[in-house]
Amino acid sequence: MPTALITGATAGIGAAFARRLAKDGTDLVLVARDGERLAGAAAALGAEFGTGVEVLVADLATDEGIAAVEARLADPERPVDLLVNNAGFGLRDGFLTVPLAQELAMVKLHIEAVLRLTTAAVPGMRERGRGGVVNVASVAAFLPRGTYGASKSWVVQFTQGAARDLAGTGVRLLALCPGFTRTEFHQRAEVDMSEVGGWMWLSADRVVDDALRDLARGRSVSIPSRRYKVLVAAARKAPLAALGGISSRAGRRLDRR
Segment 175-203 shows an average pLDDT of 66
Reported confidence tier of residue 93, pLDDT bands at 50, 70, 90? confident
pLDDT at 145: 77
The residue annotated as part of the active site, out of 148, 154, 158, 180, is 148
State residue 237's pLDDT score.
Answer: 73
pLDDT tier at 248, thresholds 50, 70, 90: very low
* Residue of 90, 82, 133 lying closest to 110 (CA atoms): 90
| pLDDT above 50 (res 242) | no
Residue 184 confidence (pLDDT) above 70: no
Contacts (Cβ under 8 Å, ≥6 apart) of 60: 7, 31, 66, 69, 87, 108, 109, 113, 117
Count CA within 13 A, CB hemisphere, residue 8: 23
Give the list of residues 6+ apart from residue 235 with CB closer than 8 angstroms, or none: 139, 142, 143, 243, 246
First to last CA, the chain: 28
Domains of the chain in sequence order? 3-254 (3.40.50.720)
Residue 148 falls in the annotated catalytic set: yes
Q: CA-CA distance, 188 to 211, in Å (whole number)?
A: 24
Cα-based angle 255, 256, 257 (whole degrees, multiple of 5)? 125
Sequence-distant (6+) residues with CB within 8 A of 145 are: 152, 247, 251, 252, 254
Query: Which of 62-66, 108-112, 243-247 has the least mean pLDDT?
Result: 243-247
More confident residue, 191 or 153: 153
Residues 6+ apart with CB under 8 A from 214: 174, 221, 222
Tens digit of pLDDT for each residue in 3-35?
Answer: 999 999 999 999 999 999 999 999 999 999 999
Q: Is the pLDDT of residue 252 over 70?
A: no
List of E strands, the chain: 3-7, 27-32, 53-57, 82-85, 131-136, 171-176, 221-222
| Dihedral sign (CA 239, 174, 91, 189) | positive
Asked whether the beta carbons of 107 and 225 are under 8 A apart, the reply is: no
- Cross-strand pairs, 134: 84, 174
pLDDT score at 238: 64
pTM: 0.88
Q: What is the mean pLDDT of the chain?
A: 88
Which residue would you say has higher pLDDT here, 251 or 170?
A: 170
Q: What pLDDT is stored for residue 132 in this prediction? A: 98
